[in-house]
Structure 1
Amino acid sequence: MIRFVALLSCIGVIYGRAPLNHAVHNERRTERVVGGWDAPPNTWRWQVSLQYDSYNSNDYYHICGGTLIAAYYVMTAAHCILSPEARYYRVVTGEYNLYEYDGSEQFKSVEKIIIHPGWTGDLGNGNDIAVLKLKTPIYDNGYLQIADLPYPGQVLPHDFTCYLTGWGLLATGGSTPAILQEAPIPVVEHSVCSSPEWWGSLAKKTMVCAGGDGKTAGCQGDSGGPLSCLTDGAWRVHGVVSYGPAADCNMFRKPTVFTRVSSFIEWLYSVM
């Protein structure tokens, strides 16, 4: 138990306050921390910004990412739920620049919060997934898309390249980007990620590990957002950003850990 607690102290919750064509982009980019760069507009159209108003004063700020999975529903991480009161949250679809009105956004109030019954508040135990039911449905304005999800139990092979997107910090303790970031990130299979020199027993089979090269990773503000992977001819959201190392977001052999969506398909459809 003492060893487990010591390991768990290395986990960092990857959320924090922060104000497709899916073609391969070959033009020169300005590299950002976690190995990412500005995403082209109107690409990751299922990505949402989960925003919070702690004083119920209509002053919202970004806390987490999320994924649009139906007209009334958004998937995010359970640890992103700072309060059980739905009135403190809103979801923004079509968001691109957090600090400007792009004309593509839809702002939706949350009616109900549904947290997975297996969530205990302990990231190492997994089940870090929640669903938000919106008060009114999202409508198709050309800037959004309902995400495709993987097949139940689907597991990605080692080194399979997916994409991490979000408005997370560009460095541990660093600045927050205004523009949505994207970064290719390789999957680390469970047998590797659960080995002692990686995440050990904290990596469960209901999780997906990706990164760990010391270059590409999620960081504070990315939690709850999607891990998007081109599988079976379609972009599917295979992961929900859950945790990473507390000391430094992009530590070698400490990849970003995602809730594996394919392990929760039945639960998702049961609550929608």
Structure 2
Amino acid sequence: MIFHLHPLRQIFYLPLLHPRSCLPWMNRFTGLLSLCVLLTSLLLGDQRRIGKRGDLDWTNYYQLGNNSGTYLPSELYPDLSVVGALISSTGALGTATLVAPNYIVTAAHVVKNDLYEIPDPNDWKFYLHDDFGEASSSQIYFIEEIKVHPVWTARQTTSNSLGDGDELGVDLALAKLSRSVSGIYPARLPSTNDDPLGLRAVVGGFGTLVEGDSGNKDPSNDKRVSGENTIDRSVAKVTKLGVPEDQRGGVLGIDFDSPQAQHNTLASGNSVELLGSGDSQATPLTLEASTAVGDSGGPAFVRTLGYWRLHGVVSYGTSESEYGDVTVYTRLASHYDWLISELPDWPDSKIFEGSGWLENPWLGAFVPHSSAWCFHINLGWLYIPFSKGNSFWAWSNLVQQWIWLSDQAYPFIYCYSPSNSFWMYVLLDSSNGQLIRAYNYSSTEWGNYGG
């Protein structure tokens, strides 16, 4: 059986007035304009939604969205404080996720929905709060620069102004914030070969609330809502006739299963357009959820290789947010090289405001200096030519060798030189930046390096 998806490219507009509508000569039209904007909100509100199981209330979905109650960040749940609302001066709404202290990632169609549209950073703000209506000035970030994935723009033509970049898995954009976010770890990215197929995902965004069984909608929500689902499809490179290979991205797919197990759209034997074939369980997860238009740009977090990672960004799917719906995500592992090339050094590190110190989620605390040098709290002075990945080489002043550091191995370190290569285990509690205490697996002895 082959299913066809309805694109979710329309952008919901909040009932906001453009500042120019407040000019004195327009005052007598303000009431009429407000009514028109409100009617527009009501007409488009059903295109901005998140769907939940009809047999549950919204309490747990809200709690997961703000990591309260039993949903604190842990091995079971990601930290969702990195997810915010991206809102334009005209009221266009999307969802975005912090992927570096001063960068967010979203869907390209949120900011560039037309061939001739040039995204203006001054038109957008990022609200980093679990309720964007309650965000304080310190939680609202101006946008300095918008970088749309180049293939998204290349696929927009005069005959197809929107293009087919969503189907090709290139619905992706980065935005640089005018100031950095401090005190939280940005979301971690998956590496190129990191595949979440069959794993549990935590999804979410900001949007109208929909009951999965009845389709009843509540358009008044401005809170971050999160749920869970299973990655039923993972396509590393989309195949579409006539499309050059270098213009093909990747996609992920989830379906919205019902408690009655009667809406398994991505079951074995069902091929859904460019998602292809695969399999899916009919039984829903405890907080099974669907996402759609208003959540465009929203995250799919999956725990892989020991960490929660941002594997997907909401792109398109069916539009009802009821049982059986399918949501398609741009697959970020397919765009790892592009993302890393655009992001600053140490993208997944937390900033301690005013101190100069950063903290990496696996490497620990350090102070970056010029010319790729940094001082690490345990390892001392390190020269790291490339510091954006999940592993990298560094020159250690204390060991006097090149060392290989990896989020999958640290504090196990591989030391390399043409004449002497070995693994060692660093005893972090006894290493202070002036001296490294470590076990050398080559000599099978504990030793001190530096000091």
Do they fold alike, i.e. is TM over 0.5?
yes
The equivalent of 2:131 in structure 1 is 97
Is 1:241 aligned with 2:241?
A: no
Q: How does 1:45-124 map to 2 (within 5 A)?
A: 45-54=81-90, 61=91, 63-82=93-112, 84-93=119-128, 95-101=129-135, 106-119=139-152, 120=155, 121-122=163-164, 123-124=166-167
SS at match of 1:99: helix
The CA deviation at 1:152 is: 1.1
> Which amino acid letter does the alignment assign opposite residue 39 of structure 1?
L
- Aligned with residue 211 of structure 1, among 227, 243, 255: 255
The CA deviation at 1:126 is: 2.5
**CA deviation vs aligned residue, 1:139-182 (integer Å, no higher than 9, x gap):** 22xxx431111111321122x21111111221266414232111
Residues 264 and 233 of structure 1, relative CA distance in 2, 3 Å threshold: same
More helix by share: 2
TM-score where L is the length of structure 1? 0.75
Tell me whether 172-181 or 70-79 shows the greater mean CA deviation.
172-181
Distance in 2 separating the partners of 1:137 and 1:190: 33
Is 1:260 aligned with 2:331?
A: yes
The equivalent of 1:149 in structure 2 is 189
Is 1:30 aligned with 2:30?
A: no
CA RMSD for the aligned pairs? 3.0
TM-score where L is the length of structure 2? 0.47
Q: Is the 8 A contact 1:46 1:67 kept in 2?
A: yes
Q: Is the 8 A contact 1:14 1:218 kept in 2?
A: no
Question: What stretches of structure 1 of length at least 5 have no aligned partner?
Answer: 1-5, 20-27, 55-60, 195-203
% identical equivalent positions: 26
The equivalent of 1:41 in structure 2 is 66
Q: Is the 8 A contact 1:218 1:249 kept in 2?
A: yes
Q: Which has the higher contact order (CA 8 A, sep 6+)?
A: 1
The equivalent of 1:169 in structure 2 is 208
Q: How does 1:120-199 map to 2 (within 5 A)?
A: 120=155, 121-122=163-164, 123-140=166-183, 144-158=184-198, 160-171=199-210, 174-190=218-234
Distance in 2 separating the partners of 1:268 and 1:184: 25
Residues 161 and 11 of structure 1, relative CA distance in 2, 3 Å threshold: same
Q: Is the 8 A contact 1:75 1:129 kept in 2?
A: yes
- Aligned with residue 17 of structure 1, among 13, 20, 28: 13
The CA deviation at 1:98 is: 2.3
| Pair member with larger Rg | 2
- Aligned with residue 232 of structure 1, among 305, 328, 331: 305
